[in-house]
A and B are shown apart, each in its own frame.
Chain A
């Protein structure tokens, strides 16, 4: 059904002047036009809906309200997803006969196995490191002076783009030969301590770990914020009762804090895990997936748009989808439990 809708879409729906603009003013005019057009569609739906009255009319109204969103999702997400799944089963080009070739290749070709190994490394390390650091920091600064400021410092990397984060860290890792003056912070430290400087982004498997550090740097703030809120939500009387029983220090953390924030911990771990599975920007910006650093989302891009293998790219996208499903399901179940 959806495919016939797509077939019926008009070819070249907009005239050229409404498609592109060269000058700055033209661009902003185009933007204003788009917002007005969208607002007009919004108004039209409301107007059409208001034409239907009475009990039967109300059902039509409801459907009309939901229609634009449902239409866009069906044509722009569901239908393409189905096409991608089909494409992944039709060879490297995505146009040959049906086969499992792409999936077989994914699990046999050495370069792609490296991609899978890297992805596994990311998904194991990033959530646990980011959560551990976030939790430690949340505990250390809990009710300390300047807590809000201390939090903002760790949280700020969340607000910047992963491209920006990639640039920031690429500069930290910058390599110069040992005897020359260093401009990268990390190699500067190594040299000051008397070690040889390292090509952090070139030498596998060290380079993958160096990229993982960037993602941990970004995600720790998220973990810290959620866990800090969870810690503050622990009822005082539980803590009082435990203290009266002589519980304190590390035992308090182990037997009171940790169990109380368990579901928040799971939500944080799974949420970061999902984000990590889809990581693309960091790898793309820092190494473009060269030197054995590629991950599934990056390899999807390379295969689809650079190596002219859309079928294999589609298979990688489907793999991403399959990997995400169990984590999302678990995440949602835990979120429901939490409240």
Chain B
């Protein structure tokens, strides 16, 4: 049971960075050997081809987002470099201008407003529950934990329609942020509780015992001892949840619809792709506006991200 948790992967992640640091002293590896078998120049060529195939589509749209509307429709983006003077920021200006009809700025703000509570709330609740499941004996604890664990397999699609009904007809939320905040929290709880529980379980019990002997209550232990130790696990889950919510389409589409009042960028971009599929000047700029934050987070916090990703592959 302890293997689904983030602590199971950090060694491999650190080896990874360790290897790049000590890259000079190149050890032979099984994989290196296999690569040599395909003979070095060919191996490099194949690697380069894959790398190019994987980056070229993104570069294409990125270049396009800096071209004039008229050029985008007339010539391929690969011809743009012959006339570098034609590059423009006009698409981004239009996409970000608060007044223009094709603006993404309202949607971008919605994405931020949706994401922050939808990341914090499951962390609050899951760490509380995980602490109870890990270190506080209470009746029915074990089967409740198994139940929470088992809920990881429920695809969120199964809950959407009745949940929408509860929000609209019972709680009166309608198309408001509250629906998505709560939904993202609910869908994240099984995984979050499970991950944080496993991490807590790894901490030495003597730590807790000693604190108890000194007269500390559970509340004190939770804040003073556990929370600081938990930071890596919370960060791993937090980044994972951040990217999940930021990039989500389905939950927002179902609960919020497409109005600029509440809908996030992803919903707007998907909608534009359907209704104005050839408006590439605005689509390309909008797509990159929505991507810039997650990519920056990824580059800055790659290690945590990889760790959370390995552990969280089951989510959704």
Which residues in A have some Cβ–Cβ distance to B below 8 Å?
A: 6, 9-14, 19-20, 22, 24, 27-28, 30-31, 34-35, 38-39, 42, 45-46, 49-50, 53, 58-66, 68-70, 72-73, 75-81, 83-85, 87, 133, 136-145, 147-148, 150, 152-154, 156-164, 166-172, 181-185, 188, 217, 220-222, 225-226, 228-234, 236, 238-239, 242-243, 248-250, 252-253, 256-257, 260, 267, 271, 274-275, 277-278, 280-281, 284-286, 288, 297, 300-301, 304-305, 310, 313-314, 316-318, 320-321, 324-325, 328-329, 331-332, 335-336, 338-339
Contact = CB atoms under 8 A, between A and B. Distances in A.
Contacts of B139: 59, 63
Interface string B22-46: 0100111111111111100001101
Contact of A335 (B4, B46, B287): B4
B210 interface: no
A310 to B, nearest CB: 6
A338 B1 CA distance: 11
A143 B23 contact: yes
Interface of B: 1-4, 8-9, 11-13, 15-17, 19-20, 23, 26-38, 43-44, 46-47, 50-51, 54-58, 60-61, 64, 72-78, 106, 109-110, 112-113, 116-117, 120-121, 124-126, 128-129, 131-133, 136-139, 141, 144, 148, 151-155, 157-163, 166, 170-174, 176-178, 181-183, 185-187, 189-190, 193, 217-219, 222, 243, 246-250, 253-254, 261-262, 266, 269-270, 273-274, 277, 280, 283-284, 287-288, 290-291, 294-295, 297-299, 302, 305-306, 309-310, 313-314, 316
A137 B50 contact: yes
A155 B256 CA distance: 31
A50 B217 contact: yes
Contacts of B128: 42, 45-46, 65-66, 68-69
B3 A182 contact: no
A62 to B, nearest CB: 3
Contact of B31 (A73, A133, A253, A331): A253
B158 A317 contact: yes
A296 B288 CA distance: 29
Contact of A66 (B38, B133, B288): B133
A284 B38 CA distance: 40
Given A77-B187, A231-B31, A257-B31, A271 B314 contact: yes
B15 A163 contact: no
Contacts of A133: 50
